[in-house]
Amino acid sequence: MQFGPKEDLASYPRDLKRDSEVCEKAGTDLIFHPENEEMYFNDFSTFVDMNGLTKGLCGKSRPIHFRGVCTVVTKLFNIVDPDRAYFGEKDAQQLAVIKRMVRDLNIDIEIIGCPIIREEDGLAKSSRNTYLSIEERTAATILNKSLTKAKELLYSGERNSKEILALIKETIESEKLAKIDYIEIVDSLSLKPVDKIEKSVLVALAVYIGKTRLIDNFIFEV
């Protein structure tokens, strides 16, 4: 539902056995893993949608994605009825959207963001990393390298978004296998672009390494 017609739903990495082993080691008691037929009737026609937060960043190139996310997550919350739900900060826009949805619809759940987990070379962990060839896997480190340079520039006192975006763009374009989808600096709450950094911002990017689309980000607090 959150995948577009030309996206990678069919090939998206799924390994229930491995996931179950990881969950068991972490002390998990139950895994919710329904079949599609249990979740969606043939004439399913009801969706949860949102304006504003979903229009920029990943929403630009994936226009139906967040309608799918909101609908799927709402169904999950209705069925499971949790007290808390945890979402990774790597998908920063998704986390912001879910927090807003829960607030706007008075869903009595605490949404908790989980820090990005990285490989030893800095690449953010992602299911899609398994798509990468050896050469592409090396090239993919350019995402974190570019964000690290941006952090250094911010901590040195630079507050002009154009300067920081230019540095990120220049760094990524030095890698021949990388193709930029977007690089943006936005307000952490509204997700609207900012020209001058005067409060908390999200520095986010999406980059294709070969055919694989990867995302990464960090939040900078003034």
Identify the pLDDT of residue 218.
98
Answer whether residue 6 shows pLDDT above 80.
Answer: no
Comparing CA positions, the residue from 170, 115, 114 lying closest to residue 142 is 170
Identify the pLDDT of residue 4.
58
Tell me the pLDDT tens digit for each residue of 61-108.
998 999 999 999 999 999 999 999 999 999 999 999 999 999 999 999
Identify the pLDDT of residue 1.
62
> 3 pLDDT band (50/70/90 cuts)?
low
Tell me the pLDDT tens digit for each residue of 168-188.
999 999 999 999 999 999 999
Identify the pLDDT of residue 149.
98
Tell me the pLDDT tens digit for each residue of 7-51.
666 677 788 999 999 999 999 999 999 998 999 999 999 999 999
> 204 pLDDT band (50/70/90 cuts)?
very high
The domains of the chain, with CATH numbers, are 16-114 (3.40.50.620), 127-220 (3.30.1300.10)
What's the whole-number average pLDDT of the chain? 94
Q: 0.95 exceeded by the pTM?
A: no
Answer whether residue 2 shows pLDDT above 70.
Answer: no
